[in-house]
Amino acid sequence: MTVDAFIHLSGVTKSYKAGRKQHLAISDASFDVMPGELVALVGPSGCGKSTLLKVLAGLHTHDGGTVRIGSAKHPFDPARDIGMVFQAPLLLKWRRILDNILLPAEILGLPMAAARERARGLMAMVGLQGYEEKYPYELSGGMQQRAAIARSLVHDPKLVLMDEPFGALDALTREKMNLELLRIWKESGKTIVFVTHGISEAVFLGTRVVVMTAGPARMADNFQIDLPHPRTLDMKTHESFGVYTRRIYKLLGME
């Protein structure tokens, strides 16, 4: 049985008006994301990756091409079916962690008793059990991002969009969060699009990597990452891992 793509992009373009001129942010983005994939979108800073993520989120319109998420059989509502994780956790400092995680459920008007139970389960899944009554300032940067991930999942979205969520973390914490994200992705079964400018991070996390060139964003390559799961940090020393990273370096003109 053929499985339809959950996300389909074909020839997508996006321009901004900058003074009297038009700035082309995305010139040609074409790729599919299958249900349950974790697709890493990698490219240099300023190449349009975040703009493309905002197009997927419905926060920006696109000027040309086709963007389709879901299908007639499985309709998609951006307001209900998307979870977002940004580089900064964006937790409300006056709300306790559990209440921060519950925010999407409140906004969407979901039954709060069930949402609270789900939030507590998600806190356990991301390793924050026992921190329900803490405030954001009482948590480390990595723990705050775990709360942000739990918040993105509390309304049970079909798609999670992550915009360089670990970019502000120190190197060791970032490695730990990569492992945590893979575990959470496996447990939740969500479709994830993960934006990064870290080549090693893209290869380590992705079931597939989409490589974008310097702005305006254009897809340079789109390939499967054939590394086994569960992934471990020592895989980064393997020759097969190096083959993928060198392929991306070459595409980005860094060899």
What are the tens digits of pLDDT across the range 24-45?
Answer: 888 888 999 999 999 999 988 7
Rounded to an integer, what distance in angstroms lies between the CA atom of residue 115 and that of residue 156? 10
pLDDT tens-digit map of 97-123? 999 999 999 999 999 999 999 999 999
- Give the Cβ contact number of residue 11 at 10 Å: 12
Q: Are residues 15 and 112 in the same domain?
A: no
In a domain, 206, yes or no: yes
pTM metric for this prediction: 0.94
On whether residue 40 sits in a domain, the answer given is yes
Q: Answer yes or no: do 179 and 69 share one domain.
A: yes
The CATH number of the domain holding residue 226 is 3.40.50.300
The span from the CA of 159 to the CA of 152, in Å, is 9
- Say yes or no: 243 and 172 in one domain: yes
Q: What is the torsion angle, in degrees rounded to the nearest 10, for the CA atoms of residue 50, residue 191, residue 153 and residue 141? A: -50
Residues 166 and 215 in one domain: yes
Last residue of a domain, one of 156, 179, 199: 156
Res. 17 pLDDT band, cuts 50 70 90: confident
Count the domains in the chain: 2
3-state secondary structure of 27: strand
Boundaries of domain holding 14: 7-76+158-251
| 55 and 120 co-located in one domain | no
112, 129, 156 — which closes off a domain?
A: 156
Q: Report how far Cα 232 is from the mean position of its chain's Cα atoms.
A: 20
- Does residue 81 sit within a domain? no
Residue ending a domain, among 140, 156, 172, is: 156
